[in-house]
Amino acid sequence: MSRQIRSEPAQAGKGGVLLNVKVQPRAQKPGVQGLRNNALLVRLKAAPEKGRANSELIAALSDFFDAARADFEITSGTTSRDKRVLISNTTLERVNSRLDGLPEL
């Protein structure tokens, strides 16, 4: 039997936890939806204009992880749907516990 290795969406990084995020702007039902292709899928109402979607993303992640907005920083992909977000003042175990149970999409 072949065993599939699943890469995790969150990894311990320098200064916190790095999280792979896939965003879908202009969504009718915004919020954290689940996991897709090694990333957390977050749907946003905002259009990707003038940083509005990135601001909404930080707010959604802050609510989902119950952490301060200042603890989140988009480290790569600011103009892309695929982003890396650094979450400071947390542990990999805490992030993974929030991701456990989310549906695979």
Is position 104 within any domain? no
The average pLDDT across 91-104 equals: 95
pTM for this structure? 0.89
Q: What is the pLDDT, as a whole number, of residue 41?
A: 98
List pLDDT tens digits, range 38-87: 999 999 999 999 999 999 999 999 999 999 999 999 999 999 999 999 99
**How much is the mean pLDDT over the chain?**
92
Tell me which DSSP letter residue 5 carries: P
Domain range for residue 26? Answer: 10-96
Run of H or E residues at 53: helix 52-65
Please count the other Cβ atoms lying within 10 Å of the Cβ belonging to residue 43: 18
Is position 60 within any domain? yes
Is position 101 within any domain? no
Q: Would the pLDDT of 4 be above 90?
A: no
CATH value at residue 72? 3.30.1200.10
Is position 55 within any domain? yes
Q: Would the pLDDT of 6 be above 70?
A: no
Is position 103 within any domain? no
* Number of domains composing the chain: 1
Which position has the higher pLDDT, 13 or 34?
Answer: 34
The average pLDDT across 24-36 equals: 96
Is position 57 within any domain? yes
Measured CA distances, 31 to 1, 6, 12, 96 (Å): 37, 24, 24, 18
